[in-house]
Amino acid sequence: MRVHFVKTRLVWYIISLLIIVPGLVSLVWQGLNLGIDFTGGTLLELEYKQVPAIEQVRAALKEKGLGNAGIQAAEGNRILIRTVALAEKDRDEVLKAIREKTGDFNLRREDKVGPVIGKELLRNALLALGIAIVLMIIYISWRFEFWSGLSAIAALLHDVLVVIGVFSLLQLEVDSAFVAAILTIIGYSINDTIVIFDRIRENLLKRRKDQEVEDVINSSIYQTFGRTINTVLTVVFVLVALLVFGGETIYNFVLAMLIGVLSGTYSSICTASPLWFDLRRYAKKA
């Protein structure tokens, strides 16, 4: 059975709202679980004679309830650890646990990371997102029409709200990698939407007089359907593999990407084009 995505658009709008609204409620009610990139914390630099496996360090941190700490290998047999803010007593216990798991080391540096950097990062991310949205609207409006640009941006915001909402509901940690994932999702989603819009424009030029616009849009979606599904499956296979085998360090980043890619595919097919049809129709009536 062939689904008519435009004529059943109310169903897709309702599904989107059922996904987005709980996330927005959670966002207002409990907010996001911000990582130390945004809230500040403690930075520890450990120097070893022989660098241990990252898994050993993480196992020691897990014992102290710091499983989400950032761990990075550096030059000169050093390990950098970023955790929530630690009192002196807590820091000593953490260092003791690490020493028991990994062997002796020298504490080269201990810094307190303030939230000022996090605020600057958030401000720059929002600024970059705003500039990107304005430029995309200008480009899509020039390439197609203004309503195409508006519906494409609405689809992008749909994907962003889905990812942010899920992270808020599950209280998963949000850090700088999450911001990178959001920006990557935007780039992926807009590309898929543009491909469908391009096919719609081509088919509208060849439309028969007795052919409805809804049918042209639906045919265009199906003509790009194979490409869309093949592309998303290729990406999803890689992301699922990373989610299972990539470890905790990149888990939240990969999960955000996976949710965003699936949402982006859904919005490109079920939201962007039907929304463009509605906006265009209401604009002509106005």
All domains of the chain in start order, with CATH = 9-34+117-285 (1.20.1640.10), 41-113 (3.30.70.3400)
Instruction: State the pLDDT confidence band at 286, using cuts at 50, 70 and 90.
Output: very low
CB 177 within 8 A of CB 249: no
The alpha carbon dihedral of 83, 86, 90, 93 has a sign of positive
State which amino acid sits at residue 209: K
pLDDT over 70 at 124, yes or no: yes
Note the pLDDT of residue 24: 93
* DSSP conformation class of 49: S
Looking at per-residue pLDDT, the higher value among 124 and 118 belongs to: 124
Asked if residue 47 lies in contact with residue 105, where contact means CB atoms within 8 angstroms, the answer is: yes
> Which of 163, 270, 277, 162 minimizes the C-alpha distance to 225?
270
Instruction: Provide the total of helices (H) and of strands (E) in the chain, helices listed first.
Output: 11, 6
Residue with tokens 């710091």: 66
Quick check: 116 pLDDT over 70? no
Q: Which residues contact 239 (CB under 8 A, 6 or more apart)?
A: 254, 257, 258, 261
Q: How confident is the model at residue 234 (pLDDT cuts 50, 70, 90)?
A: very high
Average model confidence (pLDDT) across the chain = 85
Q: What is the pLDDT of residue 15?
A: 94
- Please indicate whether residue 117 or residue 159 has the higher confidence score (pLDDT): 159
Side chain identity, residue 281: R
Residue 239: pLDDT band (50, 70, 90) is very high
Beta strands, E only, the chain: 33-34, 41-47, 70-74, 78-83, 106-113, 173-174
pLDDT at residue 163, rounded to an integer: 95
Separation CA 25–CA 23 (nearest Å): 5
Which has more confidence, 205 or 1? Answer: 205
Q: Compute the chain's Rg from CA coordinates.
A: 24
Range name among 112-121, 149-158, 159-168, 236-245 with the lowest pLDDT average:
112-121
Please provide residue 24's backbone torsions phi and psi, each rounded to the nearest 5 degrees: -65, -40
Burial of 116 (0-12, 13-18, 19+ CB in 10 A): exposed
Structure confidence at residue 2 as a pLDDT band (50, 70, 90): confident
Q: What percent of the chain has pLDDT over 70?
A: 96
What are 8's two structure tokens? Answer: 């059943």
Q: What is the pLDDT of residue 20?
A: 95
Q: Could you tell me the pLDDT band of residue 256, with boundaries at 50, 70 and 90?
A: very high
Q: Which of 23-32, 100-109, 168-177, 203-212 has the highest mean pLDDT?
A: 23-32
pLDDT at 161: 94
Better pLDDT: 165 or 87: 165
Q: How confident is the model at residue 115 (pLDDT cuts 50, 70, 90)?
A: low
Distance CA 2, CA 223 (A): 13
Contacts of residues 168-171 at CB distance under 8 Å and 24 or more positions apart, as own/partner, are 168/23, 168/26, 168/27, 168/30, 168/31, 168/32, 168/33, 169/22, 169/23, 169/26, 171/30, 171/33
What letter would DSSP give residue 270? I
Q: Give the pLDDT mean for 127-136.
A: 83
Segment 225-230 long-range contacts (CB within 8 Å, at least 24 positions apart) = 225/269, 227/195, 228/192, 228/195, 228/196, 228/265, 228/268, 228/269, 229/265
